[in-house]
Amino acid sequence: MSYIARPKVSHPALARNDLGLTMRDYQGGMSTLCAGCGHDSITGSLIQAVFELSIPPHRMAKLSGIGCSSKTPAYFASSSHGFNSVHGRMPSVGTGAAAVNGRLQYIGISGDGDSLSIGIGQFVHAMRRNLNMLYLIEDNGVYGLTKGQFSASADTGSTAKRGEVNEQPAIDPCLLAIAAGCGFVARGFSGDRAQLVPLLKAGLSHRGFAMIDVISPCVTFNDHEGSTKSYRFTRENAFPIDHTDLIPPEAEIKADIGRGESQRVELHGGGSILLRKLAREYDIGDRGEAYRYLDARQGKGEVVTGLLFLQEGGADMHELSRLGETPLAALPYGRLCPGSDALAELQNRLR
């Protein structure tokens, strides 16, 4: 992917987080995406989210596949390790990485082509294993780098830039995630930062797989009349059902949970998520209801956004694999090798 270094300038008045870092410390190279690309707004939201959560940049690992979306890791947190893998295979890299060091914050960034076509198998299995990572799909319904083919998330009846009508049904990553057992399923819109930043923070704080599908219009190939992933269509049809707030552990006592219209969900690792209900008509922890609601609303052409499903406390991959405190990658060799005596003893039974 193309990459331009960003000039390093800093203003003394810039806000600092708990680590004493400014937003600048979470920036990466200059984006080479098209002007107005939704992906760049998502990058901005992501920078804000990790800045506000005071995550040390070098303790984050950014992973991606191939495509416009997968360039994003180059555009933020240049002091984090990045892994731009092969097309559709980022979840497997994340799985191996997370298995051997559970102490890093894993952020996977993918696209609708990367996750719903070539990589749908790995995407589903990463959710099934519940690995501890934030997984973003920057969803624009189109293949940009190859100039405008429909992706698997393109809605039936939506049109391509040159007028071709998509006749195949869309694969909705949120419905798929709910069905695949994912514990945190949300949808955002790149144009709604006020909603997206808190969603990202909640996703980063959730232990287990947090999938956020972010509608991110492609200004070059899919922002026209007839597209259902355009800025205009998404603005007009977005249907936010709740607003999410992440309450850090230290602020929990003061948090006003309100009455009736708000719900607080305790997080496994401390803190909680405060959900202010806007339109949601179901229990956030009911997988079946969430699926039915989403399916019905979307059938009417609405783009349901917000935190759609949340199930806290499920065992993540680390726990399911019965891994201990020390990351596998940090175990001293002396603890791993049984030694020559054990080898000799073992062979007594092979004679």
- Tell me the CA distances in angstroms from 337 to 42, 323, 344, 347, one per residue in order: 46, 17, 13, 16
DSSP state of 229: S
Regarding 8 and contact with another protein (CB under 8 A), the answer is: no
**Complex with another protein: residue 251 or 337, whichever CB lies closer:** 337
Q: Does 16 bind another protein (CB under 8 A)?
A: no
Q: Which is nearer to another protein, 65 or 141 (CB)?
A: 65
> Residue 280 and residue 276: Cα distance in Å, rounded?
9
Q: Pseudo-torsion of CA 23, 26, 29, 35, nearest 10°?
A: -50
Residue 317 per-residue DSSP state: H
Q: Which of 42, 55, 68, 74 binds another protein (CB under 8 A)?
A: 74
Q: Of 180 and 219, which CB lies nearer to another protein in the complex structure?
A: 180
- The C-alpha angle with vertex 240 and arms to 239 and 243, in degrees rounded to 5, equals 175
Among 82, 188, 203, 208, interactor with another protein by CB under 8 A = 82
Taking CB under 8 A as the criterion, the residue among 17, 22, 48, 95 binding another protein is 95
| Nearer of residues 26 and 143 to another protein, judged by Cβ | 26
Angle at 52 between CA 51 and CA 53, to 5 degrees: 90
Judged by CB under 8 A, does residue 322 bind another protein?
Answer: yes
Question: Alpha carbon 69 to chain centroid distance?
Answer: 12
Cβ nearer to another protein, comparing 219 with 323: 323
> Is residue 193 involved in binding another protein (CB under 8 A)?
no
Tell which one of 14, 54, 58, 156 touches another protein (CB under 8 A): 58
327 vs 323: CA distance, rounded Å = 8
Minimum distance of another protein from residue 96's CB (angstroms):
3
Cβ of residue 221: shortest distance to another protein, in angstroms? Answer: 21
Q: Report the residue number, 61 or 199, with the smaller CB distance to another protein.
A: 61
Question: Out of 16, 103, 147, 235, which residue is the one contacting another protein (CB under 8 A)?
Answer: 103
| 252 touches 271 (CB < 8 A) | yes
Place of tokens 């624009």: 140
Piece of the chain touching another protein by CB under 8 A; list 54-62, 139-147, 200-208, 262-270: 54-62
Q: Does residue 339 touch another protein according to CB under 8 A? A: yes
Joined together, the tokens standing for residue 260 give 């009736």
Nearest distance from C-beta of residue 126 to another protein, angstroms: 9
Spatial CA neighbour of 191 closest among 28, 40, 77, 30: 40
94 sits near another protein (criterion: CB under 8 A)? yes
Query: Residues 115-144: x/- map of binding to another protein (CB under 8 A)?
Result: ------xx--x---x---------------
Of 139, 173, 142, 199, nearest in space to 294 by CA: 173
Q: b/e map of 288-323 (b: 16 or more CB within 10 Å)?
A: eebbebbeebbeeeebbbbbbbbbbebebbbeeeee
Separation CA 39–CA 176 (nearest Å):
22
C-beta of residue 230 within 8 angstroms of C-beta of residue 224 = yes
**Chain length of the chain:** 351
| Number of residues binding to another protein, judged by CB under 8 A | 60
Identity of the residue, 76 or 233, whose beta carbon is nearer to another protein in the bound complex: 76
Binding residue (CB under 8 A) for another protein from 22, 79, 159, 237: 79
Sign of the C-alpha dihedral computed for residues 90, 91, 93 and 94 taken in this order: positive
Among residues 150, 157, 153, the alpha carbon closest in space to that of 172 is found at 153
Task: Kindly state whether residue 30 participates in binding another protein, applying the rule CB under 8 A.
Answer: no
Q: Is 331 a binder of another protein (CB under 8 A)?
A: yes
86, 145, 179, 255: residue in contact with another protein (rule CB under 8 A): 86
* Positions in the binding site for another protein (CB under 8 A): 1-3, 56-59, 61, 73-74, 78-86, 89, 91-101, 103-104, 121-122, 125, 129, 321-325, 328-331, 333, 335-340, 342-344, 346-347, 350-351
